[in-house]
Every structure is written in C-alpha cells, then in structure tokens.
Amino acid sequence: MTLRLKPLEDQTIVIMGASSGIGLATAQKAAERGAQVVLVSRNGEALDKICEDIRRNGGRADYVVADVGVREQVRNVVDTVVERYGGFDTWINNAGVGTYATLSEISDEDHEKVFRTNYWGVVYGSTEALTHLRQRGGALITTGSISSDIPAPILGAYTATKHAVKGFINSLRLELAHENAPVSVTLIKPSGIHSPFGHHARNYMDRASKVPPPVYSPCTVANAMLHAAEHPTRELVIGGSGASLIGMVRLLPRMADLLLEKMFFLTAVDRNRPPRESQALHHHGDGGSVFGDQEGYMLKTSAYTEAAKHPKAALAVGVAVAVGLLALRQQRSGHRAQLM
C-alpha cells in the first residue's frame, strides 16, 4: 500500500507537550504553513496565550489541557478534537520530563513519574490516536532521542524511557503494517536540544543542570516533524553529532563507554550557576518558551538531518559514517595486535 499524507495546509495536527520547546516550535511552524494546530499540555494558561499569539499572526490554533500520563485525559483530547474539527491527520507524541540524578539516588516516585510521562504518555497517545487514525489515515510521530540508542549517566531514568519508547514504536509500526493500516509511524531522535528541558527537569545536583553540547535549535526538530507529517518517514536522527555517537556505540562500544562517562559527568552540569528554582516534574512548567536558558553556542541547522530526509542521501550518509567507524575500529584492533 502506498500511503499518501495531506499537505500541511489541509491538516489538523495535534501536538502533545506543546507549551514549550520542541512542541511549541512545531506548533508555531505548522500554523505558519497553514495547518490547524491543537496544542496539548498541563498548562492551560500558557496554552491560551500561545494560541492567542498564533491567531494574532494569522494562524489557526486551539488547545486542550491534559496530562499525557492519564489515559482518560488523552482520550478526551481525541474526542474533543474529533468533535471540534471532525478529526485530525497528524498526532505528535512529544511531552517529556527528566531528572538529573544518578540511578542510585533518584527516588522511586520521581523515577515512576518520568516513565509515566515519557513512556506511558506515548503508549496512551498512540493507542488512543489510532482509534481515529486507523479509519482516517495519517501520521503518528513520536519524539524519542539519541538516548534511545546510547547510555547516559545522570540522565539514566530519562534514557531508560527513551529506550522503551523506541521498542514500543518500532513494534507498533510492524503491527500496523501487518494489518495494512493507513498510518505512517515515525520516530524522531534528537541530539541535545536548546529547549527548556534543563529548566523543567528535577535536579538532584548542587549546581545547575545543562544539556550536554553540542545543542541544536528546537526548530531543527520541528522542521523534521513537519517533514514526517507530509512524507511517510520511518526514523530521523536530528544532528550529525548524535548520529556519530549512535554509530560509535554500535561499532566501538568500549570506546563509547569511556567517552560518554567522561562527557556526561563533565558537561551535564553548569558549575558556574546554582540550581534553578523552577522544576516541572510533578506539576506543569511556566511554558511559553521555545529555547532554554543555558549559555553556549546553538547550532541552528543540521546538514546531516537535511540529507537524511531524502532516502538516497540518507543511505549514502549512513554508509559513509559506518565505513569511517569500521575503519577506525580495524585500525584500533591492528594497533592492539602490534602491542601484543
């Protein structure tokens, strides 16, 4: 079956976790391109203001308040959008929370909440949205992470949820293919993003948390989301740096362990700043901001991701990266043999 998705200007798009960061950037860009957007988050006050701003700029925007970790509230989002607009064409699972804590110190309550939002939010969002998408057709897009494929100390609970999300989405895709459902299933895997994630995350450290660099603009993820809303796409990694780390973990796991251990313990903390007062794990954050507050350079585009949007170019890039990493692995093996 050849699946065709509508142009954005003909779509109604539901975006979970849309009050800040990637979700907000996606809503703004989709509205600019003519889509009817429905924003969802726990913060109704922020959503109301965001929708006013979008409408003031000529866009079409509405919102529904919901906690993605509660199935009944997610089901209400589906029912409300169907009632107001007759349905939707793209559903984006994007809500996410995190903690900066080692796995031995994080509380069970916080650990469970991260899973409740990041994993169960995707389960509830996907299964409830599919009650409509199976009949209408469309795109189911989920924000995973490069953490779906690599380990990450200090962000271990978050990383575990993203591994779980990858397993769920990839399995769901096969089940939908088996039943010939007219739904495109996409997993978006961002590298570090300059969003308010660190501002909202629960922080156990004695200094401010930080997204390990290099960090990319949330707009790079938003553009990938909207590409997948129009073009059936299996998976997209956002950022060449993240793609390189994934390749290293697969081909040079011991070297990757050494690198990631040093990198996260050095770069996930901003030793020049005290911890932020605002944390939004068990309650909604302030909302309304696309970008985070950490200092440092932000990459506004990704040549790797732009190439990956086109299958033939993505294959060529993937082969080049794999060949390079394989050559490095063989070189290291040869060096060890000479030392023996």
Known catalytic residues?
A: 158
Give the DSSP letter string of 254-302.
Answer: HHHHHHHHHHHHHHSEETTSPPPS---SSS------SS----S-EE---
Contact present, 114 and 135 (Cβ < 8 Å): no
Contact present, 124 and 74 (Cβ < 8 Å): yes
**What angle (nearest 5°) sits at the alpha carbon of residue 65, between those of residues 29 and 167?**
70
Q: Which helix (H) or strand (E) holds 116?
A: helix 108-118
CA end-to-end distance (rounded Å), the chain: 56
Q: Which helix (H) or strand (E) holds 147?
A: none
Contact present, 39 and 47 (Cβ < 8 Å): yes
What long-range pairs does 171-178 form, CB within 8 A, spacing at least 24? 172/126, 173/234, 176/130
Q: How far is the C-alpha of 298 from the C-alpha of 57, rounded, in Å?
A: 26
Q: Would you call 90 helix, strand, or coil by DSSP? A: strand
Residues making up the chain, counted from first to last: 340
Q: How are beta strands 208-209 and 269-270 bridged, if at all? A: antiparallel
